[in-house]
């Protein structure tokens, strides 16, 4: 049976040199690593992975994020991606063709308050992240609900091999997409199922480092389904 271990680590703790995780939160001390913030060292089959429990979302090229349209310019929108860095989506990218300000009305394409699913096309910390919605399953979110969680909780909400998020989906009948920037898109068959799914997600957000969390979350869902008759 594969050996598994999870433990809390704090800045100053020594981690094995092969430890992987978000580079901005791992300090290489030449022969060993140390976390820059509090997190979990997850050990499975001899592989060490650092999962931060603090820290803001820092965009990386290729990340798929859920963004909120907060304002618009002449040829682009400004997008809140739950990060210290505000992102940009160009009208040309959204349309998939050159933008014509004489015939194209930005406010009819996307409005302030709309959510989008997009991919980080470029980012180098010297200018705003550039987004694209050109790709499968990307674009304006037209159904369901989007909730915010701390970005560091996303790996725990997803679980190993998507075990946690798949369990919530199967038990509630909801479709869930957890974006790396701490936003989750939820599409449910009814309001009660949506409320239960959100309760489960918030429990994980509060208790990410605790043992036996999957079983407790499943029990919470089962109890709420009985109470609500769903």
Residue 4 pairs in a beta bridge with: 44
Per-residue model confidence as pLDDT tens digits over 18-73: 898 887 788 888 788 998 888 888 887 778 888 887 778 889 999 999 999 999 99
Q: Residue length, the chain?
A: 230
Domain 4-52 sits in CATH at: 2.40.50.100
* 3-state SS assignment for residue 59: coil
Per-residue model confidence as pLDDT tens digits over 95-137: 999 988 878 888 889 999 999 999 999 998 788 999 999 999 9
CATH fold label, 64-140: OB fold (Dihydrolipoamide Acetyltransferase, E2P) (2.40.50)
Q: Which residue has the tokens 């349209």?
A: 69
Q: Is 71 exposed, middle or buried (0-12, 13-18, 19+ CB in 10 A)?
A: exposed
Question: Distances in Å between the alpha carbon of 92 and those of 74, 178, 186, 194, 216?
Answer: 12, 27, 28, 35, 47
Class of domain 145-228: alpha beta
Model confidence, pTM: 0.81
Residues of the chain with CATH 3.30.1370.10: 145-228
Is the pLDDT at 205 greater than 90, yes or no? yes
């Amino acid at each position: 049976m594969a050996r598994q271990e999870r433990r809390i680590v704090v800045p100053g703790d020594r981690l094995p040199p092969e430890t992987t995780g978000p580079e901005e939160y791992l300090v290489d001390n030449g022969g060993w690593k140390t976390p820059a913030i509090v997190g979990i060292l997850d050990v499975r089959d001899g592989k060490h992975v650092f999962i931060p429990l603090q820290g803001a979302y820092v965009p990386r090229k290729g990340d798929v994020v859920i963004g909120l349209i907060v304002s618009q310019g002449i040829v682009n929108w400004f997008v809140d991606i739950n990060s210290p860095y505000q992102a940009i989506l160009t009208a040309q990218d959204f349309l998939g063709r050159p933008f014509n300000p004489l015939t194209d009305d930005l406010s009819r394409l996307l409005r302030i308050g709309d959510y989008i699913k997009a991919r980080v096309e470029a980012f180098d910390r010297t200018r705003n992240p550039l987004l694209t919605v050109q790709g499968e399953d990307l674009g304006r979110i037209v159904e369901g609900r989007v909730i915010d969680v701390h970005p560091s909780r996303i790996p725990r909400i997803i679980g190993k091999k998507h075990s946690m998020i798949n369990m919530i989906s199967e038990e509630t009948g909801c479709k869930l997409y957890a974006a790396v920037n701490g936003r989750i898109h939820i599409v449910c068959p009814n309001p009660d199922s949506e409320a239960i799914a959100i309760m489960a997600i918030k429990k994980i957000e509060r208790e990410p480092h605790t043992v036996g969390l999957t079983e407790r979350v499943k029990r919470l869902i089962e109890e709420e389904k009985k109470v609500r008759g769903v």
